[in-house]
Structure 1
Amino acid sequence: MNTDLASDFADIDGLLAWTLGIDDYVDLESLKISKVQHPPFMPGGLAVPTPKVAEPNYPPEPVYQAPTTPSGLSAMFGGKKRHQQAIEATQAAFENAHRDWERIRDDLRAGCIKKVALREKLEAKRAAGLTAAENKYKQECEKREAEASAHNAKVAKLINDLAFDVESAIQEYVGIVLSNSVYPEVFPVEHDYAFNLASRELVLTVSVPEPSAVPSVKGYRYVKTKDEIASTALPVREKKERYANAAWQVAVRSLHEVFEADRAGKIHSIALTVNVNTVDPATGRPITVPLVVVAADRETFNSFDLSKVVPQATLQHLGAAMSKSPFDLVPADTGRGIRVRGQ
C-alpha cells in the first residue's frame, strides 16, 4: 500500500519531468500502415474432407462342386441312380446358397450406394462451406487492405495540408500530439483546443482533476494491538502544495509539448487555460474554475531550460494569472489581461 502511495506521489510530482525525456514530435509518416496484418485463415473442420465410403466386405461367392462320379462296384447295383439323386440335391443346395449370397451382396451394395450418396451430399456441403469461408476471409482481407489504403491516403493528405498551412491540418496535428500526452491514472487530464491561422495562435484548455484526486493519506502502518491497518493523514499544507504544483506543472508541460512537437513552427503562440470542472457548493450547479491562464510565444518559451525551472516561477515570469489557492478552487484573477501581465 505504501509503495503504491509513494508511486502516486512520484507520478504527480513528476508531471513535467516525465515529458522532458520524450520527444513530442510526431512523424506522420510513421502513422502510415506499411503492411496490413491479416489473421491466418482458420477453416476448422471445413478443411477436412468427408471420409470416403469403404467398399463392402462381400462374402465369398458359393462355388458348385458336383458329387464324385461312382466307378467300379459303386456304379453297380443302383449307384448311378444314387449319383443322380446326389447331383440334384447338390444342385438344389448350391442354388439356394447362391440366392442367399446374391441377396446379401445386393443388400451390401445397396447400403454402400446409400452411404456414397450421403457422403457426396456431406462433401458437397463441406466444400460449399469451405468456399463460403474462403470468400468471407478474402473479403475481410480486402476490407482491411482498403481501410489501410484509406488511412494512408488520409495521412498523406494531412502531411500535404500541413506543409501548405491548412488550418484544420495544423489543428489535427495538435490533436495527435495531445493524444500522445500520457498522464498517470491518479491525475488524468483532458484537452480542448482550437487553432487560428490568421494569428498563428493555439487556444488550448487543459482540464485537471479536482483536488480530491490528490491522495489524502501520508502512509499506512500495521497496528498489532488492533490487528488492523491504520492510515496517517497527509498534512493539509502538503496536499495544497502538491495540487498547486501539479496545476503549474500541467501548464508548463502543455506549452512544452505543443511547441516541441511543432518543429515546423506553424504555431507562434499559445493561449493556455488550466481549469478544473467541479460543482459550485452555493448552487449545486457545475462550474469551471480557471487555475492558470497564460499566453506564451514560441521564441520566448523555447529559450527556457525546463529541466531546471520551477513551474510556478516560469508561469509568473510569463505573466500568468494564477489561482492563489488551487486546492481551495480559488479562481485565477483574469481581470487584467494576461498579455499585459507579460509585458
Structure 2
Amino acid sequence: MAKRSPSAAEYHRRQQAQAKEAARQQRAAENAAKATQRAERENYLASRGREADNKTHEVQQRVLSLQSLLEVGLRRSARVDLVSLKKAPENPPFAPGAVGVPAQRPSWEMFAPSRPGMIKSVLEGRTRQEQRELAAKRQYEAAQRSWEQSEHVRLEQLAALRREHLGLLATKQQAADAHNRTIDELASGVRSRRKDAVEKYLQTVLRRMPLPAAFTRRSEVIYSPHAEQVVVKLQLPSRDVVPVVKGYSYIQSKDEIRPAPRPAKEVAELYRATIAQVALLVTRDLFDADQMLREVGFNGHVDTVDPATGQSVYPCLISLTVDRDRFSSLNLRQVNPEDCLRHLNALVSQHPYELKGITPILDFERSKYAFVEGMDAVAMLDSRPDLMQLSAGEFEHLVRQVFEAMGMQGWTTTPSKDDGVDGVVFNPTPFVGGLTIVQAKRYKDVVGVNHIRELAGAMEEKKAGHGVLVTTSWFTAGGWQKAREHGRIELVDGPRLVHLIKEHLGKDVLIGIKRPKTASTGPS
C-alpha cells in the first residue's frame, strides 16, 4: 500500500512545531549564556572583593609586626652561642660514575665455537673443526688484551678521581678548620674582653635581631674594655616601613580597589613607636648577649636627604645611655616604649617622622678613638723640667693637660691605634666649638710640610673641624705657609709651647735642643 503524503495542514503544523522547538532551544541557550555571564560576573566581583580584603589583611599584618617588635624580640635569648657557629666539613660521597663500573671480562664461552653434530663432524673432518677453534681462540685472546688495556686505563682514571675527591675533602676540611679557628679565637677574645672580638661578637648579635625584612641592619659598634661600655650607631628603619594606608575597599561601580588613607597623625605615632621599640630591643639584646657589659649607649640614625641642600644626611633621632642596673629593673613586657625612653632620660626627636635630628648624648665619632687613661705629666715637670727628657707618651699627656687647662675636654689615644692622631680635644662651646685633632711631636729637628699634610689627611678622615700640631722644635717657613693656606690648622712650636705651659699650668720648663737662629717663628 502506498504511503500517503502529508496534507498541507499537517506540513504547516510540523513546520510550526519545529520553529517553536528551535525558538525554545535558542531561549534556553540564551538563558544559559546569561546565567554563565552572571556567574562569571559574580565570581569576578567576589575575587576583586577578596583582593581588597587580602591587601587590607597584608597592611594589618605589617602594622601588627611593627606594634609587636619588642614583644617578639623578648621571647628569645639574644646570646649567640659561638660554638654553634662552627662548621662541620662537607663530605660529599665519592661518585666516579661510569668509571667506577668495570666492563665485563671476556670469557671463553663467549667465543668458543659450537660443537658440530656427528654427521657434520664426519663431513667436515677434524681439520676444519680445529681451524674454527683456533680462530675463536685468537678472537678471545684479542678481546682479553683489549679488556686489560681498557681496564688499566679505567683504573688509572678511577685513581685520579679518587685523588681529586680526597683533595676536595681535604680542602673542605681545611676551610672548616680555618673557620672554626676563627670562631675559637673570637670566643677566646670575648672571654678575655679583647676590644675587636667583643665588637665583632656584638655586631653578630645585632645582625640576628628579629626585625622585619624591610628593616635596614647597618650598625657600628665601639667597645671600651676599661669601662665595659658599648656605644652603638644603628640605622633606623626608614619611614616607608609604616603603611600610609589603613585598608582597601572595592568600588564596584568603577571596578577599582581604592586605598583608605591612614591619618597622618597615626602614621607619625606608629613610626615613633616603632623606632622606640628598636632602641629598647637593641639595648636589651646587648645587655642580654654580653653579661659583662656595664653600660650601653645607643644612637639611632636614619638615611635621608636634606631638602635645603639636596645632600644625603644621617640625622640622629634617638639617643640613649643606660647602665645595666637601671635597665635590668625594667619590665619590658609591660612598658609603653615611648614612656620607657622618657623614664630612661633618652633624647628623642620631637618630630621623628619628619626626620628632625637631635644632638646625641654620646658622640659616636669621638667614641671611635681608642683612648687611654690620663697620666699626670705635669707632676713630673718639677723634677724633670726639660721637655726633651719626657717620653713620647708623657709628652702627649702633657699636651692634653695644657688643652684641658684651657677649658677643653682632652683625650690621649692609644699609640698602636692612633691613625696619625696623638690626641683629641673637644671644645663644648656652641657655634665655635667642635672636635680638634692633635698631633704632638717631641722632636729635636725641624718639622716640615709633610707633617702638616699628614695632619690635614687625619682631619679629613676623622671629619674633625680643626687640627693642632704641637712640637718641641720649630716649623719650616713652608710649614707655616701650608697651615695658613689650609685655614683650620694651628701650629705650636717650642717657644709658644713653653709660654702656654707657663700661662695655663704655672710651670717653668725648658726645651733642651739647639734651635737655629734662622728658624722661622711664624706669625707673631
Normalising by structure 2, we get a TM-score of 0.53
CA distance in 1, matches of 2:65, 2:203: 23
Tell me what 1:73 maps to.
none
| Residue identity in the other structure for 1:26 | V
Match of residue 296 from structure 1: 322
**Match among 163, 166, 181 for residue 135 of structure 1:** 163
Report the CA distance between 1:198 and its aligned residue. Answer: 2.9
**1:1-343 correspondence runs (5 A):** 1-33=55-87, 36=89, 38-55=91-108, 56-60=111-115, 94=125, 98-99=127-128, 101=129, 104-263=132-291, 265=292, 267-334=293-360
* Identical positions, percent: 26
Aligned in 2, Cα 1:259/1:65: closer, same or farther, shift over 3 Å? closer
- Distance in 2 (alpha carbons) for counterparts of 1:65 and 1:241: 109
Write the distance in 1 (CA, Å) between the matches of 2:245 and 2:217.
Answer: 22
Query: How far does the alpha carbon of each residue in 1:253-274 deviate from its partner, in whole angstroms, 9 at most, with x for none?
Result: 11110011112x2x22222111
Q: Secondary structure at the match of 1:112?
A: helix
Alpha carbons of 1:200 and 1:108: their partners in 2 closer, same or farther (altered >3 Å)? same
Per the alignment, residue 430 of structure 2 pairs with none
TM superposition score normalised by structure 1: 0.79
**1:217–1:51 Cα change, 3 Å:** farther
Aligned to 2:422: none
Q: Give the SS at the match of 1:204.
A: strand
For the 8 Å contact 2:349–2:358, the answer to whether it is kept is yes
| Greater relative contact order (Cα < 8 A, sep 6+) | 1
Counterparts in 2 of 1:66 and 1:22: CA distance versus 1, 3 Å: closer
Residues 207 and 52 of structure 1: CA distance in aligned 2, closer, same or farther (over 3 Å): same
Kindly provide the amino acid, as one letter, of the partner of residue 189 in structure 1: R
The offset of 1:179, in angstroms, is 2.3
Are residues 275 and 146 of structure 1, via their aligned partners in 2, closer, same or farther at CA, if it must alter by over 3 Å? same
Partners of 2:83 and 2:203 lie apart in 1 by 16
Pair 1:189–1:246, CA change in 2 (3 A): farther
Report the alpha carbon displacement of residue 64 of structure 1 after superposing the two structures with TM. Answer: 9.9
1:8 and 1:186 in contact (8 A); partners too: no
Deviation at 1:5, TM superposition (A): 2.1
Counterpart residue identity of residue 67, structure 2: D
Distance (Å, rounded) in 2 between the aligned partners of 1:322 and 1:66: 113
Report Cα offsets for 1:164-214 as digits up to 9, x if no partner: 222222212212222221311133432211212233221201102321232
1:341 maps to none
- Report the AA paired with residue 16 of structure 1: L
2:235–2:302 CA contact under 8 A, matched in 1? yes
One-letter amino acid of the structure 1 residue matched with residue 324 of structure 2: R
State the Cα deviation string for residues 92-114 of structure 1 (Å, max 9, x = none). x648xx35x55554544444344
Q: Which moved more, 1:12-21 or 1:106-115?
A: 106-115
CA contact (8 A) 2:321 2:361 kept: no
Relative distance call for 1:239 and 1:107 in structure 2 (3 A) is farther
Count the aligned residue pairs.
308
Deviation at 1:277, TM superposition (A): 1.0
The alignment partner of 1:295 has SS state of: strand
**Contact preservation (8 Å) 2:319, 2:361:** no
Q: Aligned pair in 2 of structure 1 residues 59, 216: CA closer, same or farther (>3 Å)? A: same
Structure 1: 5+ residue stretches without partners:
68-89, 339-343
Structure 1 residue 333, shift from structure 2 partner: 4.5
For residues 207 and 242 of structure 2, what CA distance do their matches in structure 1 show? 23
Q: Report the counterpart of residue 74 of structure 1 in structure 2.
A: none
Conserved in 1, the CA contact under 8 Å of 2:232 and 2:297?
yes
Contact 1:64 1:94 in 2 (8 A): no
Q: C-alpha distance in 1, partners of 2:228/2:304?
A: 32
Cα distance between partner residues in 2 of 1:106 and 1:151 = 67
Against the structure 1 CA distance between its residues 166 and 306, is the aligned structure 2 distance closer, same or farther, given a 3 Å change threshold? same
Moved over 6 A (4+): 61-67, 335-338
Question: Secondary structure, in 3 states, of the residue corresponding to 1:51?
Answer: coil
| In 2, Cα distance between equivalents of 1:335 and 1:257 | 20
Aligned-partner Cα distance in 2 for 1:51–1:66: 33
**How far off is 1:318 after superposition?**
2.2
Aligned equivalents of 1:150 and 1:337: distance in 2? Answer: 37
Q: Deviations over 1:141-160 (max 9, x none)?
A: 23333333333333333333
Change (3 A) 1:228 1:132: farther
| Pair 1:120–1:182, CA change in 2 (3 A) | farther
- What displacement does 1:220 show? 2.2
CA distance in 1 between counterparts of 2:112 and 2:249 reads: 83
1:197 is aligned with what amino acid? P
Instruction: Find the aligned partners of 1:281 and 1:183 in 2 and give their Cα distance.
Output: 29
* 1:7-40 deviation line (CA, Å, top 9, x unaligned): 211111111111111111223334345x545233
d(CA) in 1 for partners of 2:75, 2:114: 86
**Uncovered stretches (5+) of structure 2, i.e. residues with no partner:** 1-54, 365-524
1:40 alignment partner AA: P
What SS is found at the alignment partner of 1:330?
coil
